[in-house]
């Protein structure tokens, strides 16, 4: 029986695909086959890989202080724009 991956299957396995240590070789082969045959998923993988590289690059090299400050300021402004109590501090779920 031939096991054909659909795009949905592939996207569900995308994390595994991008983390080879957690994928078994047979499954990985199927995923690779799908990427090679499916332009849509190829673009997804390509974009995700590039994004991951950017993030890793940012961690490896130092983020200039000013850029970081600006990022943090932008984040804080975004958070402040939200209604208070929305996120972050502690459990919001009622105990059972
Ligand atoms: Zn696909």
Query: 14-18, long-range: CB within 8 Å, 24+ apart, which pairs?
Result: 14/44, 14/45, 14/48, 17/45, 18/45, 18/48, 18/49, 18/52
**Residues 84, 56: contact at Cβ < 8 Å?**
no
Q: How far is the CA of 6 from the centre of ligand 1 (A)?
A: 6
pLDDT higher for 87 or 74?
A: 74
Per the confidence metrics, is the pTM higher than 0.85?
no
Average confidence (pLDDT) over 45-64: 74
Q: Which pLDDT does position 53 carry in this prediction?
A: 79
Q: How far is the CA of 26 from the centre of ligand 1 (A)?
A: 18
The pLDDT tens digits for 61-74 are: 555 667 677 777 88
The pLDDT tens digits for 11-39 are: 998 888 888 777 788 888 889 999 999 99
Q: Which pLDDT does position 78 carry in this prediction?
A: 83
Q: How far is the CA of 50 from the centre of ligand 1 (A)?
A: 18
């Amino acid at each position: 029986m031939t096991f054909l991956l659909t795009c949905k299957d592939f996207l569900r396995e995308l994390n595994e695909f991008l983390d080879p240590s957690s994928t078994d070789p047979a499954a990985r082969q199927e995923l690779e086959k799908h990427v090679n045959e499916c332009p849509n998923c190829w673009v997804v993988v390509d974009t995700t890989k590039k994004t991951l590289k950017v993030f890793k690059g940012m961690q490896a090299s130092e983020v200039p202080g000013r850029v970081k400050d600006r990022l943090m300021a932008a984040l804080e402004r975004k958070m402040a724009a939200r209604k208070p109590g929305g996120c972050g501090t502690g459990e919001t779920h009622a105990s059972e």
